[in-house]
Chain A
Amino acid sequence: MAKVLITDDSATARMIIQRCIEVLGWQSCEFLHASNGVEALEIVMNQSVDLIITDIVMPVMDGINLLKRIKVSPKLNHIPVFVISSLANPAMEKELEQFGVDHLIYKPVSPPKLLEALEGTLGKDFLEK
């Protein structure tokens, strides 16, 4: 069963992302929730996670710093990271690419957008494992 970690300070946003993945037919995923980057790091240090989906603007540690920490860690850098944002900013997009983001999705999140990211980045079989 694939484990998906959803990181956003808004419980509503986390639930919308989870519902979108469930709508795609992957109800058997295990969903883990974190409300900031520090909580997310604590989770990935203590259990294996197959995918991280994170917002950018969050208190305590934002999504860009979470991405950096994941991608510089030899233990964690294999985990794909999708970043979700409502902000269009070319400089931010470059920074995310530089730090190794696997996919950037603009809000509103929808099942087709997530499907494109999941299949494009991870392959069709990813969530069926």
Chain B
Amino acid sequence: MSCKDRIESILLQALSETFESLVFEEVVIQGIVEGSKHIDADGSWWVNIDIIEPFDSQLVLVVRKDLMIQYTEAIFGMLDDEMPAETQILDNLGELMNTFCGRIMALMLPPDHSFRLGLPVAGEGLLPTPQGKFYTVNCLIGDNLVFLIVPENFCNHDFLSCI
């Protein structure tokens, strides 16, 4: 398995474990592209988590607003006429990202290796894209596209150096 295949495999496993557990949706990776020009930031919320140890990096997840509303309604068991508050939706997005980042770090690192993450920061509008070269992983979750922004230094860590 090449390094590119391996990072795709790890990302897919972490995304699948997260989304299948929390929102009962299957995940398919549609492709990895450089940059983020194709993302519609206006109709989406984003969430950023800094990776603090064992290396400095960050991951950004971008999810369409209507999809996050749908996920939040499902988790809180809301009825048709109920609408989640924005704080609930952003809390949900933060929890999704926190869980995903925990899984991906656990999958990337040896079992006895520590890691530390920053707190999730969610928002809308201009995406908090990393400095330098970065990639966007286009993920099909159920029938919906969700984007994961991954800096090159994350991909270059350890065995992922040949992507």
Q: Hey, what's the 0/1 contact readout for A42-78 against B, CB within 8 Å counting as 1?
A: 0000000000000001000000000000000000000
A15 CA to B111 CA, complexed, in Å = 29
Total A-B Cβ pairs within 8 A: 64
Nearest CB on B from A111, distance (A): 9
A86 touches B92 (CB 8 A): no
A86 touches B99 (CB 8 A): yes
A11 touches B88 (CB 8 A): yes
B114 touches A106 (CB 8 A): no
Q: Which residues of A contact B115 (CB under 8 A)?
A: 87-89
Q: Say whether, besides A19-B75, A86-B98, A88-B105, A10 and B117 are in contact (CB < 8 Å).
A: no
User: Which residues of B in the span 96-114 have a Cβ within 8 Å of any Cβ on A?
Assistant: 98-99, 101-103, 105-106, 109, 111-114
A: number of interface residues (CB 8 Å): 21
Majority SS at the chain B contact face: helix
Nearest CB on A from B63, distance (A): 14
A10 touches B95 (CB 8 A): yes
Q: Which residues of A contact B119 (CB under 8 A)?
A: 57
Q: Say whether, besides A11-B91, A87-B117, A107 and B75 are in contact (CB < 8 Å).
A: no
B21 touches A110 (CB 8 A): yes
A10, A88, A108, A109 pick with most chain B CB within 10 angstroms: A108
Q: Say whether, besides A10-B95, A12-B75, A88-B109, A108 and B103 are in contact (CB < 8 Å).
A: yes
Q: Does B6 contact A (CB under 8 A)?
A: no
B residues touching A (Cβ–Cβ < 8 Å)?
17-18, 21-22, 72, 75-77, 88, 91-92, 94-95, 98-99, 101-103, 105-106, 109, 111-117, 119
